[in-house]
Structure 1
Amino acid sequence: MKKIYHLANCDTCQKILKEVDAVKQKAELQDIKTENITPAQLEEMKEKAGSYEALFSRRALKFRSMGLHEKTLTEKDYRSLILQEYTFLKRPVAIVGEEIFIGNTKAVTEQLRAALKKKS
């Protein structure tokens, strides 16, 4: 399985999808703004990532506006927030076989590109 959760209107996500050649690699793309993440999909991501916190973006604009930076969040909170508001998912998230790639750092992008090529 090759699946990438992204935002279609995010320039960074689009740049990464182009860099890793996601379409040519036949990765299934899911725009999380138009097609919400299901609890089952989030659970699968969590199993591979180890925690909901690893999937949570503190850069989301709502993180500060909701006052979350002043609270101590639990795994249950992270799960609930990601399911409620798509912007709380660190993007992009890619699942290639049993591996998961979270975020947009150069290192993660390179690892994702290598994994996609290996699985094609």
Structure 2
Amino acid sequence: MKKIYYLGTCSTCIRIIKELGISEQNFEMQDIKTQPMSEAHLDEMKSLSGSFESLFSRRAMKYKSMGLAGKNLSEGDYKQLILEEYTFLKRPVFIINDQIFIGNSKKTVEEVAQALT
């Protein structure tokens, strides 16, 4: 299976998708704003990544506005926050067979490119 969770309005996500030559012909693509993730999707990502925290973006604007920086969040909290607010998912998330790649760091993008070859 090849799937990507991304945000269609995120210029970084779009740039990475273009750089990697990803299209709907070779990947299942899910824009998390227009096609919200289900709990099953999130649970699948967690089983591959090891934790909900690894999927959680502390860069989301709501992270600071909701005062989450000073709180000690549990795995359940991370899961609930991601399900309630799509911007809390660290993006993009690539699932290639049984591997998961989370985020937009240069290293992650290079790892995705390697996995696609």
2:8 partner SS: coil
Q: Does 1:40 pair with 2:40?
A: yes
- Percentage identity across paired residues of the two chains: 56
Alignment of 1:1-120 (within 5 A): 1-23=1-23, 26-117=26-117
Q: Report the TM-score when normalising by structure 1.
A: 0.95
Distance in 2 between the 1:68 and 1:108 partners? 26
Structure 1 position 24, deviation (Å)? 7.5
Structure 2, unaligned stretches of length 5 or more? none
TM-score between the two structures when normalised by the length of structure 2: 0.97
| Unmatched tracts of structure 1, length 5 or more | none
CA drift of 1:60 comes to 0.1
Runs of 4+ in 1 over 4 A off after TM superposition: none
Look up the SS of the partner of 1:68 in the other structure: coil
The number of residues matched between the two structures is 117
